Amino acid sequence: METRSVSLTGEAHIANEFRLDGKCAVITGAGSGIGRAIALRFAASGARICALDINQPDAEAVCREIQSAGGTASSYACDVTSLADVTRVFDDISRQERIHILVNNAGVSHIGNIENTTEEDFHRVMRVNVKGYYNCIHDCIGRMKTNGGGVILNMASVAGSAGLADRFAYSTSKGAVIAMTYSVARDYISHNIRCNCISPARVHTPFVDGFLHKNYPGREREMYENLAKTQPIGRMAEPPEVASLALFLCSDAASFITGVDYLLDGGFMNLHG
C-alpha cells in the first residue's frame, strides 16, 4: 500500500488560515455572553477588536482582558438601534483602520405568545434584533465594498427556524435575521463580501442565569437542568463553543462559505423525537 507523506509546512499553512492577524473585527454586544467570548477568541487569533456595547463599562472590561493578554482592543459605547450612533462609531473606527469583520451579536430576548406580547415589547425586540443588524450592515457594507471585501456574521437562533413556544417576538426577529443573511450574501458576493449566520440553541450566558433567578427563585438548578435537557446532547452550549464556530466562519478557512445558516444546537433541530 502506498503511503503519502504529510507536509508539516502544509499543516502550518492550514493552521494559519484560522488566524485573523492584521484584521479588525467589530463586535456588537461584546460586553458579555457570546459577544465577550467571540471578542476574546478573535483577539487570541490575532484580530484587533472593536468592542461595541450599549454598556461601555462592560466593553471596557473585555478590552482590559484582551490587553492584559497582549492583544489589541478598543471599546465603544453604541446603541445599535440608532443609525446615527452606529455611523458615529463606525466613522471613528474607520478613521483609524479598515473594518474587515462585522459580527452582529447585540440582541434582546422576550417571553410570550402573540396575545401577551405588547406592541412596545414587539417594537423593542425588532428595534434591537432586526433594525440593529440593519443599521450596522447598512453603515458597514459600503466601507467593505470600497476596501475590497469583508466578512459579516449575524447571530441568529434556532428560534428563527423552529416554532418555539412563548417566543413569538424573538422568533420573528431571528427569522428576519436569517433572511437578511441570505439577502446580503446574494447581493454582495461579487464584492468579495461573505455573510453567514449562526443559529444556536440555548447557550449558558448571564442572561439565562438572570432569567432563572428572576422567574424561578430557589428552583434555579432544577429549571436549568430542564432547559438543558431540551437539547438532545443533554446540555446547553457554552459561549466559547459559539466563538469557535464564529472564528472559523470569519477566517480564511471559510473563504468558500457564504449565505449559510449554521446550526449550533446539540441536535435540537434534527434529533428531536
Query: What is the DSSP secondary structure assignment for residue 89, as one 8-state letter?
Result: H
> What one-letter code names the amino acid at 184?
V
For residue range 32-88, list pLDDT tens digits in order.
999 999 999 999 999 999 999 999 999 999 999 999 999 999 999 999 999 999 999
Are the CB atoms for 101 and 45 separated by under 8 Å? no
CA 17 to chain centre: 20
Please enumerate in sequence order all residues whose Cβ is within 8 A of that of 131, keeping only pairs 6 or more positions apart, or say none: 81
Does this model's pTM top 0.85? My answer is yes
pLDDT digits (tens, 9 = 90+) for 130-169: 999 999 999 999 999 999 999 999 999 999 999 889 999 9
* Active site residue ranges: 170
